[in-house]
């Protein structure tokens, strides 16, 4: 059985925890804003629209929690130059590569 590499390529790293939390909070607040709009619409609209607005206000909390707790299932973006090097592994963190930096214009 092959041993998994200890290092992670930066292109396969997930999102930061703070960014993930910020996005989930934003999704939750948007959904709760729509729910508040449904309650306000219930007071204004006539006929069967009242029932639709009330149903939206009643069902949106469940969807808000589902949307807020959903995680990002998209595969990480890989730079085009990395696609041709898929067979290569990252170096371990303890390995130091010496060299010089050359700037091109």
Q: What is the pLDDT of residues 1-25, one digit of tens each?
A: 555 555 555 555 666 778 878 888 8
What angle (nearest 5°) sits at the alpha carbon of residue 41, between those of residues 61 and 66?
A: 15
Q: What is the pLDDT of residues 19-62, one digit of tens each?
A: 878 888 888 888 889 999 999 999 999 988 999 999 988 988 88
CB 27 within 8 A of CB 43: no
Q: Residues 68-83: what's their mean pLDDT? A: 60
In whole angstroms, give the CA distance from residue 33 to residue 104: 51
In whole angstroms, give the CA distance from residue 30 to residue 15: 21
CB 64 within 8 A of CB 35: yes
Q: If we measure between CA atoms, which residue out of 34, 24, 27, 86 comes closest to residue 57?
A: 34
């Amino acid at each position: 059985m092959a041993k998994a590499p200890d290092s992670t390529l930066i292109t396969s790293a997930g999102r930061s925890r703070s960014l993930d939390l910020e996005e989930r909070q934003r999704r939750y607040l948007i959904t709760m804003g729509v729910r508040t709009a449904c309650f306000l619409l219930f007071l204004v609209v006539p006929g069967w629209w009242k029932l639709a607005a009330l149903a939206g206000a009643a069902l949106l909390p469940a969807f808000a929690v589902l949307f807020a707790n959903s995680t990002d299932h998209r595969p990480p973006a890989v730079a085009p130059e990395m696609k041709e090097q898929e067979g290569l592994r990252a170096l371990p963190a303890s390995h130091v590569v010496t060299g010089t930096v050359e700037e091109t214009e």
